[in-house]
């Protein structure tokens, strides 16, 4: 099972790994270790979507370690770079305590609804009693899609009419979870980001309802971002983390992009753990994020 999951990871990240490895290998093995090298390294990392702040930090730290250790061998330069990348992704996981209410946030179009269903199936397959709440009442299509998924994976869903107060749906879902002994309640939320003030008000309201009614549950805030959007994913993570404290991130569509380097920027800039990555459309293609496996694949070590 572990081998098949790693194979999915490797296949899913093939575009990112190919792009990253080719650029880094060419730079290290065909350049002198001078100022131009470190400037070009920084530029290469930025183009790989690691972001300016993270790319600058990596370049400066590599320069420092090469100087301190007296490194001149190109293979050791490369290994030192990988060493730094391993350290960047080494962000502690947020412990999730069951029973739990998982509040899933993210802008429209990132694959939030599908991700919710896939996470619900993961818990169900573990024998954990799971329920979904269709809290995005502003888009009828979101509720319909979530209901279709819920029926497919045989997980109960609580929904309201189109345009209903999301708070009422969440209230009903918490009451239903209590009465049915649900261990994991996964709540969908509206994906509108055009007005940050309204977003914060809405999420604050959801938080108050959960705090008041869900006293028997822990709370876990999970952001879904689309990896193909590159730096926009980092921007979204910052905005949502300002609105609510994020406990984790799920990155979708990693198989369709060469911009997987954005994961380094998110982990380095925000220190928010990435919990899942999506490497395909199937239910089993949402896999648990393993930081060191990710670096192994990206750098071609595996």
- State the burial class of residue 262 (Cβ atoms within 10 Å of its Cβ: 0-12, 13-18, 19+): buried
What is the three-class DSSP state of 134?
coil
Q: Identify the pLDDT of residue 196.
A: 67
As a whole number of angstroms, the distance between CA 87 and CA 249 comes to 19
Kindly report the backbone phi and psi dihedral angles of residue 92, in degrees, each rounded to the nearest multiple of 5, phi listed first. -60, 140
Residue entry with tokens 């689309």: 226
Q: Which residues contact 87 (CB under 8 A, 6 or more apart)?
A: none
pLDDT tens for each residue of 124-153: 999 999 999 999 888 778 889 999 999 999
CATH architecture of 100-246: 3-Layer(aba) Sandwich (3.40)
Q: Identify the pLDDT of residue 202.
A: 83
Q: Are strands 274-278 and 286-288 parallel, antiparallel or unpaired?
A: antiparallel
For 278, which DSSP code?
E
| Cis peptide bond prior to 93, omega within 30° of 0 | no
Residue entry with tokens 């290994």: 79
Q: Which residues contact 49 (CB under 8 A, 6 or more apart)?
A: 230, 231, 259, 260, 261, 262, 265
Residue entry with tokens 């999506």: 278
Residue entry with tokens 């609510």: 244
This prediction's pTM: 0.92
As a whole number of Å, the CA-based R_g of the chain is 21
What sign does the CA torsion over 105, 107, 110, 114 have?
A: positive
Q: Identify the pLDDT of residue 174.
A: 98
Tokens of 51: 């972001």
pLDDT tens for each residue of 53-106: 999 999 999 999 999 999 999 899 999 999 999 999 999 988 889 999 999 999
Task: Count CA atoms closer than 13 A to 11's CA, side-chain side.
Answer: 11
- State the burial class of residue 32 (Cβ atoms within 10 Å of its Cβ: 0-12, 13-18, 19+): exposed
As a whole number of angstroms, the distance between CA 73 and CA 92 comes to 32
Q: Which residues of the chain fall below pLDDT 70?
A: 1-3, 5, 192-196, 256-258, 302
């Amino acid at each position: 099972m572990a081998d098949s999951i790693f194979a999915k990871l490797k296949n899913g990240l093939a575009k990112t790994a190919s792009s990253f490895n080719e650029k880094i290998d060419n730079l290290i093995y065909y350049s002198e270790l001078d100022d131009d090298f470190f400037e070009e390294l920084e530029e290469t990392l930025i183009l790989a979507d690691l972001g300016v702040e993270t790319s600058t930090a990596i370049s400066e730290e590599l320069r420092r370690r090469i100087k301190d250790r007296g490194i001149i061998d190109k293979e050791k330069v490369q290994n030192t770079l990988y060493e730094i990348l391993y350290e960047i992704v080494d962000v502690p996981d947020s412990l999730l305590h069951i029973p739990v209410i998982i509040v899933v946030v993210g802008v429209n179009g990132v694959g939030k609804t599908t991700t919710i269903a896939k996470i619900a199936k993961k818990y169900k397959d573990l024998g954990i009693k799971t329920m979904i709440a269709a809290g995005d009442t502003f888009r009828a299509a979101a509720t319909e899609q979530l209901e279709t998924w819920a029926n497919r994976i045989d997980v109960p869903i609580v929904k309201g009419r189109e345009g209903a107060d999301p708070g009422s749906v969440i209230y009903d879902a918490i009451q239903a979870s209590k009465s049915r002994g649900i261990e994991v309640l996964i709540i969908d939320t509206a994906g509108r980001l055009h007005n940050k003030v309204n977003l914060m008000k809405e999420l604050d309201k959801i938080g108050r309802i959960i705090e008041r009614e869900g006293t028997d549950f822990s709370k876990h805030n999970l952001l879904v971002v689309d990896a193909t959007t590159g730096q926009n994913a980092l921007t979204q993570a910052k905005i949502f983390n300002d609105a609510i404290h994020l406990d984790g991130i799920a990155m979708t569509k990693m198989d369709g992009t060469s911009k997987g380097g954005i994961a380094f920027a998110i982990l380095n800039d925000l220190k928010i753990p990435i919990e899942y990555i999506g490497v395909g459309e199937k239910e089993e293609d949402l896999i648990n994020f393993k930081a060191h496996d990710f670096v192994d694949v990206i750098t071609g070590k595996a």
